[in-house]
Amino acid sequence: MANVDTLPEILRPLMEGPSIETPRCAVCGAPWPLNRHHIVRRGAGKLFRDGREVPKPTVMLCGSGNGGGCHGLAHANRLHFRWVRAEQRFNRPAPPGSGHWEYLLLPEPTKYADALAMDGWGRLPRGRRCM
């Protein structure tokens, strides 16, 4: 099968952000237990650039996907992430891939499209690029 993009348009901006590797949870700072969370769910589809599949970015979160902690909140659609591109400055475009991650923690499960329209997004406080 040919390399066909199947990733929904709303998720494509997330694919521009780097993975975040931290020694603690990138959201709350908990030291343990830690697991990598796929910011774009593995089953969400695929995106290709120059004939190669683009890897989905991950973030280190506490807890587990089917349990508690920030990882559990992300899987329950209560913790969302978005990539914010760097703005153009001094009449020069921002370098490709420049920007920062933001997160939104909600009291109830919320669809990503609805979360994007909400206030309260904050910069990921402990984020660090994964080399």
pLDDT for 59 equals 97
* In the chain, where the domains are located: 9-123
pTM of structure: 0.87
Q: Which of 87, 96, 90, 79 is nearest to 37 (CA)?
A: 79
Asked if residue 27 lies in contact with residue 70, where contact means CB atoms within 8 angstroms, the answer is: yes
pLDDT for 93 equals 72
pLDDT for 127 equals 46
Stretches where the chain sits below pLDDT 50 are 126-131
pLDDT for 60 equals 96
pLDDT for 66 equals 78
pLDDT for 18 equals 93
